[in-house]
Structure 1
Amino acid sequence: MRALVTWLLLLVSLASAAADESRLRIGAIDAVLTVPPDIARPPVALLIAGSGSTDHDGNGPQLKPATLKKLSEQLAARGIATLRYDKRGAGEWKREFGRPEDFRFKDFVGDATALIDYLRGSGRFSHVAVVGHSEGGLVAILAAQRVPVDRLVLLATAARKQGDLLKAQLAKQLPPDKFAPIGKAIDDIMAGQIVDPPPAGLAIAPALQPAITSAFTEDPIEPMRKITGPALIIAGGRDHQLARLDFLALTTADIAAKSLWLPDMNHVLVDVTDAADDVASYNESERPLDPDLIDAVAAFISQK
Structure 2
Amino acid sequence: MMPVPPAQVQEAPTPREVAFDGFNRFPLKGTVQPAEGGSWFAVLVGDSGPLDRDWSQPRLPAHTGRALAHWLRDQGVGSLRFDKRIAGSRDPKLNASLDAQSGDILAALAAARALPEARNRRILLVGHGEGALLSLLAAREADALLLLAMPSQPMGKALAEQVALQLHASQAAPNRAYLDAVLQAIRSGRPAPAPGPDVLPPLVRLAKGLMAPETLDFVRDTLDLDPWAMVARVAVPVAVAWGGKDIQTWKPAQIPAAFRGTVLDLPDANHVFRREPGARSELDGARALEGYRDERPLADLSPISAWIRTLK
Residue 235 of structure 2 corresponds to residue 228 of structure 1: yes
Contact persistence 2:154–2:227 (CA under 8 A): yes
The corresponding residue for 1:5 is none
Q: Matched residue pairs, number?
A: 275
Deviation at 1:150, TM superposition (A): 1.2
More helix, by proportion: 1
Out of 193, 205, 220, which is 2:189 matched to?
193
Give the 3 Å change call, closer, same or farther, for CA 172–195 of structure 1 in structure 2. Answer: farther
RMSD: 2.4
- Aligned pairs (5 A) from 1:139-218: 139-144=134-139, 147-174=140-167, 175-176=171-172, 177-189=174-186, 191-196=187-192, 199=195, 200-201=204-205, 202-203=207-208, 204-205=211-212, 208-218=215-225
Residue number in structure 1 paired with 2:304: 297
Larger RCO (CA under 8 A, 6+ residues apart): 1
Distance apart, 1:172 and its partner CA: 2.1
How much does 1:125 deviate? 4.1
**CA-CA distance at 1:113 after TM superposition:** 0.6
Q: Partner of 1:21 in structure 2?
A: 15
Distance 1:184 1:260, change over 3 A: same
Distance in structure 1 (CA, Å) of the matches to 2:63 and 2:221: 27
Counterpart in the other structure of 1:280: 290
Maintained 8 Å contact 1:167/1:186: no
**How far apart, in 1, do the equivalents of 2:297 and 2:82 lie?**
21
1:259 and 1:118 mapped to 2: Cα distance? 29
- Partners of 2:73 and 2:29 in 1: CA distance: 20
Distance in 2 separating the partners of 1:58 and 1:262: 20
Q: CA deviation at 1:93?
A: 5.2
Q: Is the 8 A contact 1:22 1:33 kept in 2?
A: yes
| Percent identical residues | 27
TM-score, L = length of structure 2: 0.80
- Equivalent of residue 80 in structure 1, options 70, 77, 81: 77
Q: Which runs of 5+ in 1 are unaligned?
A: 1-13
Q: In the alignment, what sits opposite 1:268?
A: 272
Deviation at 1:259, TM superposition (A): 1.4
Q: What do residues 214-241 of structure 1 show as CA deviations (whole Å, max 9, x unaligned)?
A: 1223222222111121111110221111
The question of whether the paired residues in 1 share the 8 Å contact of 2:185 and 2:192 is answered with no
**Counterpart among 259, 268, 272 of residue 254 in structure 1:** 259
C-alpha distance 52-99 of structure 1, shift in aligned 2 (>3 A): same
Assess, with a 3 A threshold, how the Cα gap between structure 1 residues 58 and 208 changes in structure 2: closer, same or farther: closer
Q: Can you give the 5+ residue segments of structure 2 that lack an aligned partner in the other structure?
A: 1-8, 22-26, 196-203
Match of 2:129 among 128, 134, 152: 134
Give secondary structure in 2 for the equivalent of 1:154: strand
Instruction: Find runs of 4+ consecutive structure 1 residues off by over 4 angstroms.
Output: none
Q: Give the TM-score taking structure 1 as reference length.
A: 0.82
SS at match of 2:164: helix
